[in-house]
Structure 1
Amino acid sequence: MDLAFATEAAPGRVNEDHLVLAPGFAIVLDGVTQLPGLDTGCLHSPGWLVRALGAELTAALSADGAVALDAALAGAIETVARRHADTCDLANPDSPATTVAIVRERPGFLDYLVLCDSTFAYADAHGVTAITDDRTERLAAYDRVSVARVRNRPGGYWVASTRPEAAAEALTGSVPADSVYRLMICTDGVSRLVDCFGLGWPDVFGLAERAGPRAVIRAVRDHETAHPERLRRAGRRVKQHDDATLVVGR
């Protein structure tokens, strides 16, 4: 794979996205923004979690090129949880959390994993296929209490936090490597181009192909500024600006 990337914090904020590019795989994590005054029971920030989890995933995928991606993620979550179990309340449902997207090349195949609302998309002779874990979009309510109540529970949604079993709920699969000529993994700060602003995935791929991944983020910012009224998904308003990260490959 030939890979390129871009990442940018939401204006005026610290970037809580994190990415890793290595020979044979790429990882994108999107730390879940914590609301002011929220009691997480944890001394650590989403930024700490994405870096710690990214490091553990990198170690696992580098050590074993055939390990199942969900098994690697479960082990990484467990290892990171042990690291702060003595100082933090890991049972708190608002513990720091992150989405996860991974793509890995191995002989003959591209493996992928998507947990929570990041996206893996690829183009082949049949067009573009986008794989997104959209369970957060199907929640009946989206206030602070309701979301905490259904996080990492059957019937709710799953995200990487303190429970290794969340990894088994990720969307995983493989596609024949020789059939794919473009691919992308991205956070929802990028996929809002499709979810909110009406572009198609072929449009996003085309922009990245013509002008590079940084141009995709510029398009996000332009749309956020010009059309804030479109920032609604599943009947709820989302924040005007979000951290945006994408990895594109061919």
Structure 2
Amino acid sequence: MTLKLEGNNILVDVPQVVCLPSLKTLQLLRVTYLNEDSLRLLLSSCPVLEDLCIKLERDDNKSVIVVNVPSLQRLTLLIGSGCSSDGYSIVSPCLKYLKIVDYRCMPSYLIEPMPKLEEADIEVRKGIEKILESITSVRRLSLRSWFSSAEESVYRAGIVFSQLEHLMLCIHSKYWSKLLIWLLRNSPKLRVLNVYVIRGSLEYDPVDWKNIESSIPECFLRSLETFEFEGMGTQEERDFWRIFFKHASCLKSTSINGHATQFGV
């Protein structure tokens, strides 16, 4: 029912005819694949697989990671910056939990929608819009990203997180407020918000706060109950706090920690 293969000295060589009818948990950690078809053959031989973890670092002999498993409920992809793979394709409509950690700068993604997804933990450097548009049914989202103003495609209309209740945003960027406001406007049922700003800017691109006040996120007025913020106390953060506390009418618990505590709101 459980199989774990770990180490670069393990060569995954899968016969054309093989069946693992009882396997539910599979871990492939830093292994080497014989060829491009090895992973597909292995996964196709697991008709009841529910939990899959793949960790890639380098010299894995894979150009594209393809995960096409109808029965899969939990998927973890851990991809190091030295991984030789160009990207990955995920077709697993029954997923309930998804974790992606990808430190590469230019990966490519092809991810089919996951209508049953309940929780996602995403940590990527580039291309978050491709992931976000596939996980709109998620209820709990942990998002860690290195974000730049050039990634305007992330603000694309039509991406609505209609079931999202808990958002943890940890961002390494001076453009954090643009991404946060976009997420809030498209999360009408959000109840818990945790924000961690790792690298802000003392001179940030001005945000049109008047425009934001003319279109306050629905969750501010109807659902948001818990707010935690940890940052550097920059002007951008203080501007956001003023808008937030002015309109968040359902708050029950609030915490502002770190350097930010020395500044008034």
What TM-score does the superposition give when structure 2 sets the normalisation length?
Answer: 0.24
What TM-score does the superposition give when structure 1 sets the normalisation length?
Answer: 0.25
The structure in which a higher percent of residues are helix is 1
Which has the higher Rg, Structure 1 or Structure 2?
Answer: 2
